[in-house]
Amino acid sequence: MTADLAVIGLGHVGLPLARAACAAGLTTLGYDVSDAVVTGLNGGRSHVGGVRDGDVAAMRAAGFSATSDAAALRRADTVVICVPTGLGADGTPDLSAVRAASRAVARCLRPGMLVVLESTSYPGTTEEVVRPVLEGSSGLRAGADFHLAYSPQRIDPGNRRFGVRNTPKVVSGCTPLCAKHAVAFYGRFVETLVVSRGTREAEMAKLLENTYRYVNIALVDEVALYCDRTGIDVWDVLYCAGTKPFGFAPFRPGAGVGGHCIPVDPRYLAAKAGAEGFSFRMLAAAHEVLSRMPAHVVGRAAGLLDELGTPPDRASVVLLGVAYKPDVADARESPAGPVASGLRARGVSVRYHDPHVPEFTVDGVPLARVESLPEALEGADLAILLQDHSCYDMTTLTRAECALLDTRGKAAGPRVTLL
């Protein structure tokens, strides 16, 4: 039995894509190397924030199944690769998952198949990494025997307004015919398609989107550092600047950046540029600023504890919100990690409260979790608001007996200190 689509990698990108395809009536199967993920999905359980168990049940009712057997890819007319692209131990791009997925597809590649890479990577990945693997193992040629395309994912976890269907999607192909087939495929369940000149342009567009945010977050963070030193209210500055109806896009300072994309994607761009003899000096400057922010928060916390007359080795601090953004369960690359590590290094007892994140490990050691917000506040000398989840009522936080360090600019009161 053939399938319209096979999704490789059933994580934060692949599972929402599979859900959208199923909802549009495409026969869809999923492949993942994790047996736990496969077993959970086939049992109707979701492991991805924003995809509910009920969504998985609806997918199953529409014929979706997950497998860890790569041979199932032979059944698909289109294969979309949605595997992670992270960093290695040395901080350089790690494309091992993309290469492994490409080898799996190559063993099942057949004439007429469409293969799409959605994983974020540096310009040239589709042509220089994926294509040689597919062609070398199969003997088939992209653009002649099969179709190869790149279409960067634009998943925004926690965004209830924009999803796969109504977010404009950039599509490209190794040849015009490849692009045409990719457009025909995505046009079945995405409302607006934007065709780029080639795969390198589409790959670069994705990196630019996230690098734009990276650099601008670094800018407002450095403005916050300057304002702190000079006694300027940075939150009032941001409010005033944000009233301009043109020429200014608001960003907010915080303890740092997190998630899979923002801290990682600019490193892909910088690494590729460096290999080609080009230096992105702005990226280096942004990285330096953002790397300082967790230590700045730790320093502010230590200063507040000193004002309270509480020695670090007798202090109890609770971190409020360890996810990387509001109302999501994803704590990857969260600045809460280095903040907790910095506080621990000073001898502070650190716990956390986050209804979305049941477990959080720092330096290989699980951080103690407090289930109840009132309990978390009652037992702390200092609370640090790292993420403004919608469940955090500012009145509750400001009326607590403990001091509050607010890194999100949401609270006000006599016991509140803003970043």
Q: What pLDDT, on a 0 to 100 scale, did the predictor assign at position 316?
A: 96
Instruction: For residue 133, report the phi and psi dihedrals to the nearest 5 degrees.
Output: -65, -45
Which residue reads 């009652």 in tokens? Answer: 378
Of 152, 91, 96, the residue nearest 287 (C-alpha): 91
What would be the CATH architecture of the domain defined by 3-197? 3-Layer(aba) Sandwich (3.40)
- pLDDT of 85-114, one tens digit each? 988 888 889 999 999 999 999 999 999 999
Q: Which residues contact 414 (CB under 8 A, 6 or more apart)?
A: none
Within this chain, domains 3-197 and 235-418 share the same CATH topology? yes
- pLDDT of 27-82, one tens digit each? 999 999 999 999 999 999 999 988 999 999 999 999 999 999 999 999 999 999 99
The active-site residue out of 22, 108, 174, 261 is 261
- pLDDT of 185-233, one tens digit each? 999 999 999 999 999 999 999 999 999 999 999 999 999 999 999 999 9
Which whole number is the average pLDDT over 149-173? 93
Q: Is the distance from CB of 21 to CB of 13 less than 8 angstroms?
A: no
Q: What pLDDT, on a 0 to 100 scale, did the predictor assign at position 49?
A: 82
In the predicted structure, residue 156 carries a pLDDT above the cut 90: no
Instruction: For residue 104, report the phi and psi dihedrals to the nearest 5 degrees.
Output: -65, -40
Domain ranges of the chain: 3-197, 235-418
Q: Kindly report the average pLDDT of the chain as a whole number.
A: 95
Relative to beta strand 65-67, strand 365-366 is: unpaired
Q: Which CATH number fits domain 235-418: 3.40.1280.10, 3.40.50.720, 3.40.50.10490, 3.40.309.10?
A: 3.40.50.720
- pLDDT of 8-26, one tens digit each? 999 999 999 999 999 999 9
Round to whole Å and give the CA distance between 363 and 148.
41
In this prediction, residue 137 has a pLDDT band, given cuts at 50, 70 and 90, of: confident
For the beta sheet containing 28-31, the strands, ordered from the edge strand earlier in sequence to the opposite edge, are 65-67, 28-31, 3-8, 76-81, 114-117, 147-150, 169-173, 193-195
In the residue annotation, 178 being an active-site residue is answered as no
49: DSSP letter = T
44: left (phi over 0), alpha (psi -120 to 50) or beta: left
- pLDDT of 250-297, one tens digit each? 999 999 998 888 889 999 999 999 999 999 999 999 999 999 999 999
Cβ neighbours, 10 Å, residue 229: 8
Predicted structure pTM score: 0.91
- For the chain, percent helix, then strand, then coil, each to nearest 5? 40, 15, 40
In the predicted structure, residue 405 carries a pLDDT above the cut 90: yes
Round to whole Å and give the CA distance between 102 and 137.
10
- pLDDT of 310-321, one tens digit each? 999 999 999 999
